[in-house]
Amino acid sequence: MAEVTYLEALRQGLWEELERDENVFMLGEDIGEYGGAFKVTEGFLEKFGAGRIIDTPISEAAIVGAAAGAAHMGMRPIAEMQFIDFISCAYDMLTNYVATARYRAGLATPIVVRGPSGGYVRGGPFHSQMPEAAFFHTPGLKLVCPATARDAKGLIKSAVRDDDPVIYFEHKFLYRRIKEDLPDDEEILTPIGKARVAREGSDLTIITWSAMVWKCLDAAEELASSDGASVEVLDLRSLIPMDDAAILGSVRKTNRVLIVHEDTRTGGIAGEITSRINEGAFEWLDAPVRRVTAHDTPIPYAPTLEDYVLPGADDVVEAARLLLAY
């Protein structure tokens, strides 16, 4: 066992997949000689060579498009967005070309598009986004959002091996803040589409993912010590496919649900989860489903502003108390 950070776990996962399968290669901006803006690919160029660790022009549409073309030919490309905010520059390529390819033309497009996501790092409007909902609405793309070091590794490895296109949202706030002991001698593969119970509880279910898992765990701890409440925290890990069985199972157990996401509120994924609960377990609810999300604004730069806009553990505690008292 060795203690590794979330970033190191991701790095190990990428490295292992590049070693395992010669069809795996990476392309993106500054990923070769420089080792990536966050050093996720440090040392990759030396190990795997410029033929497989490809520095590209600043051209997100070309990065994703070229990955798609290579994937049609049997390659397993991993495309890096330097920050996930720039994935919008490849929105057409992802939603019109990649997402439709299998349905309209029977084309396999096993690509992974990954990049540093999320806020809490004072990155301002264009280095803080969590644009999951923009792709959630497009049939044909899988979306994964690891919260732990183990899943950072296990989900990137599963994403590379998946036969469909996967967008992998890695949270940059977690990169060096989260550490975990991971075995050296066991292959970690996290199944895509399976949620994880991050904390067991019986009074209330919090459904969340990515960095919010940690804020929700803090909130659950606070609710346990101050209120004596038993809160379950369900880490979805994968938004598409979504683990409906795990969601409905937990709702039937606790009868109260709070959904927490870092993305903005209107059109956010909490709305869809709420609908699924209404359709699948309405009669099990003792309270209306509530949500804690970012406010509907771009992500501002000043710490005071960003902390106000993004959800915090205190927001989760407050919403949970309303539900527990309902």
Partner 1 sequence: MESALTPAAPPADLTQENLLEIYYFLRLTRSLEEQLVNLYRQGKVIGGLYRSLGQEGESVATSYALRPGDILSPLIRNLGSMLVKGAQPVEVLRQYMAKTSSPTAGREMNIHFNDLDKGFLGQISHLGDMVPVMAGIALTFKMRVERRVGMVYVGDGAMSTGAFHEGVNFAAVQKLPLVVVVENNGYAFSTPVHKQTRVASLADKGRSYGIASYTVDGNDVLAVYGLARQLIEAARSGEGTQMLEVVTYRRKGHAEHDDQRYQSEEELALWEGNDPIDRYVSRIGDAGWATPDDLERIDSRIEREISEAVGTAESDPLPEGESAIGGVFA
Q: Which residues are catalytic?
A: 127
- Tallying the residues shown for the chain, one arrives at 326
Give the x/- contact pattern for partner 1 in 222-261, rule: CB under 8 A. -------------------x--------------------
Q: Is cis: bond before 191, omega within 30 of 0?
A: no
Alpha carbon distance 54, 292 (integer Å): 40
Which residue in the set 74, 184, 185, 225 belongs to the binding site for partner 1 (CB under 8 A)?
74
Smallest gap, in angstroms, from Cβ of residue 223 to partner 1? 38
**What type of residue sits at position 23?**
N
- Backbone phi, psi, residue 155, to 5°: -80, -35
Q: Which stretch binds partner 1 (CB under 8 A): 72-80, 148-156, 200-208, 254-262?
A: 72-80
Specify the residue, 28 or 35, whose C-beta has the smaller distance to partner 1: 28
- Backbone phi, psi, residue 222, to 5°: -60, -40
Residue closest to 275 by CA, chosen among 247, 246, 233, 255: 247
* Enclosing H/E stretch for 186: none
Specify the residue, 67 or 149, whose C-beta has the smaller distance to partner 1: 67
Give the x/- contact pattern for partner 1 in 131-170, rule: CB under 8 A. --------xx-x-------------------xxx------
Q: Which stretch binds partner 1 (CB under 8 A): 46-54, 115-123, 153-161, 230-238?
A: 46-54
Which residue in the set 4, 38, 52, 316 belongs to the binding site for partner 1 (CB under 8 A)?
52
Smallest gap, in angstroms, from Cβ of residue 164 to partner 1? 5
CA 320 to chain centre: 23
Footprint on residues 76-115 left by partner 1 (CB under 8 A): 77, 92-93, 96-97, 100, 102-108
Smallest gap, in angstroms, from Cβ of residue 55 to partner 1? 9
**What type of residue sits at position 234?**
L
Smallest gap, in angstroms, from Cβ of residue 301 to partner 1? 28
- Contact flag: residue 67 with partner 1 (CB under 8 A): yes
E-only strand ranges, 33-84: 53-55, 76-80
What residue has token string 């359709």?
279
By CB atoms closer than 10 A (0-12, 13-18, 19+), residue 185 is exposed
Residue closest to 38 by CA, chosen among 14, 17, 3: 14
Specify the residue, 97 or 168, whose C-beta has the smaller distance to partner 1: 97
Do residues 31 and 55 lie in contact, with contact meaning Cβ atoms separated by under 8 Å? yes
E-only strand ranges, 6-121: 24-28, 53-55, 76-80, 112-117
Smallest gap, in angstroms, from Cβ of residue 18 to partner 1? 13
Q: Which stretch binds partner 1 (CB under 8 A): 61-69, 150-158, 282-290, 307-315?
A: 61-69
**What type of residue sits at position 114?**
R
Positions that interact with partner 1 (CB under 8 A): 25, 51-52, 54, 56-57, 59-75, 77, 92-93, 96-97, 100, 102-108, 139-140, 142, 162-164, 241
